Amino acid sequence: MVTKSLWDQEVKLMKNKRAKANILILLTVFFWGISATNTKIVLEEVPPGTLAFIRFSLASLLLWGINRRVNPKMGLAKKDRKRMMFCGAAGISLYFILETYGISLISAANATILLASIPIFTLLGERVFLKRRIKKAETLGAVVTLAGVGLVIGNSFNVSGGYRELIGSMLLIGAALSWVVFSLANKTLEHKYSILFNSTYQSIFGSLFLLPVALMEYQSWGPISMVSWGNILYLTLFCSALCTFMYLSALKELGATITNVYINLMPFVGVLAAFMVLKETLYPLQILGGIIIVIGISLANLKPDWEKVRLRNKKALTQKS
Per-residue pLDDT tens over the stretch 264-288: 777 778 888 888 888 877 667 767 8
The predicted structure's pLDDT at residue 306: 47
Q: Which residues of the chain have pLDDT under 70?
A: 1-15, 120, 152-162, 256-257, 260, 282-283, 286, 301-321
What type of residue is 214? Answer: A
| pLDDT at res. 8 | 58
Alpha carbon distance 78, 275 (integer Å): 48
DSSP character for 301? T
The predicted pLDDT at position 88 comes to: 95
Asked if 282 contacts 272 with a C-beta cutoff of 8 angstroms, the reply is yes
**Torsion 21-22-25-26 (CA) sign:** negative
Counting other chains too, the contacts that 278-283 makes at CB distance below 8 Å and 24 or more residues apart are 278/37, 278/40, 278/41, 278/107, 278/108, 280/107, 280/108, 280/109, 280/156, 281/155, 281/156, 283/154, 283/155, 283/156
CB-based contacts of 310, cutoff 8 Å, min separation 6: none
| Residue 137 neighbours by CB under 8 Å, 6+ apart | 299, 300, 301, 302, 303
**pLDDT (tens digit per residue) in 171-224:** 988 998 898 899 889 988 988 898 889 989 999 999 999 999 999 999 999 999
Determine the distance from the C-alpha atom of residue 310 to the mean position of all C-alpha atoms in its chain, rounded to a whole number. 30
Distance CA 304, CA 298 (A): 11
Alpha carbon of residue 284 to chain centroid: 26
Decide: helix, strand or coil at residue 131.
coil
How confident is the model at residue 6, as a pLDDT?
Answer: 58
Question: What does the alpha-carbon distance between residue 110 and residue 277 come to, in Å, rounded to a whole number?
Answer: 15
Spatial neighbors of 115 by CB under 8 A, at least 6 apart, are 99, 172, 175, 176, 263, 266, 267
